[in-house]
Copies of this chain bind each other. A is one copy, B any other.
Amino acid sequence: MGDKLESLARAAFAPNGSAGPRTTIAVDAMGSDRAPRPEIEGAIQAARYGNARVLLVGRTEAIQAELANHPAAAELPIEIVQASEVISMDEKAAHAVRAKRDSSMRVGLRLVRDGTAQGFVTAGNTGAAMATAKMVLGALPGVDRPALAAVFPTTIPGRAAIMIDVGANVDSKPQNLEQFAVMGEIYSRSIFQNQRPRVGLLSIGEEESKGNDLTRQAYELLRRLPFNFVGNVEGRDLYNGKVDVIVCDGFVGNVALKISEGLVETVRSMLKESLEATLTRQMGFLLSRRAFADFKKRLDYTEYGGAPLLGIKGVVIVSHGSSNANAIKNAVRVAAEFAKSGINEKIAQELSRQNGVLTAPSD
């Protein structure tokens, strides 16, 4: 595979005569629940819209078979990189890292490490993706624990909120939350162009004294950071646009994310049921169909593509296992934006600059 990588690297960095994209994103073609279809369709869309050049990583035969359904793809900046192994959704992260040295995740992340690709997208096993990324790419200087950041829509049009961490770490220490805050703040500034992001600490009451041991200690650290810390926020503040960044332990953040997904599904199905009940309501539904489409889109997590793993030396976007082509396309777009934003350099700089302010790493 060495030759293949070398030629890919040359292609990626050669002066680009065409107006095509220069950023190359590796996509784990074997990750999602319905792989490789959503990955390949998403890659085609991303390449077509000029979001990036895409390297599809996985079993060449499976990828080729799916690509054959899309003859137009041959004209697009898409290439295949062979990886013989696949990590399943229920595989333990430690096992996946140890045993599968030629997994699509591992190969994809190596492309990033070697500079062949500027980012990696996977809709596979989240735990394995994080563990493999930490091993292959390593953490940024000053980062004890990388964290997953998710984007939530808010009731304020065009404004999204970032929640960090949503599942990379459990049993976090106050110092970890402090670093999550720094990374989330930079994410909000760099990607969402918020000049002075409002950062809140997720707790169960607004007063400083409310919360648990972890949040009370983290509060003291966050208030000393040189940014716009607005104090404790509650669960309802995820969606009302009151803050731009919400900091929490990964267990709590993951529960929050899953509840939100579940509840949106619940609301959708209850409404559907109610609206199918009588003819008048069905008429009503038809007339308001466009509104429902708008609404669905605003709540649609696939629009945000995936959750970036922050604090890693490289760009890694983790998408939902149930991702469709649209989610993958957007994840590729987000990965390319990240690569161009220089966010990792900013995180490393900020953490080193604040070294006097930040508490010493504890693990």
Contact = CB atoms under 8 A, between A and B. Distances in A.
Interface in A286-309: 286-292, 294-295, 298-299
Interface stretch (A75-83, A186-194, A209-217, A310-318): A209-217
A204 B251 contact: yes
A207 interface: yes
A239 B266 contact: yes
A265 B236 contact: yes
Contacts of A267: 264, 267, 295, 299
A230 interface: no
B236 A258 contact: yes
Interface bin, chain A: 35 or more
By DSSP majority rule, is chain A's interface helix, strand, loop, or mixed? helix
Contacts of A154: 266
Contacts of A153: 266
A154 B273 CA distance: 13
17 contacts: A90-B207, A155-B269, A204-B258, A234-B262, A235-B255, A235-B259, A235-B262, A237-B262, A238-B263, A271-B292, A274-B295, A278-B290, A281-B290, A283-B284, A284-B284, A284-B289, A285-B288
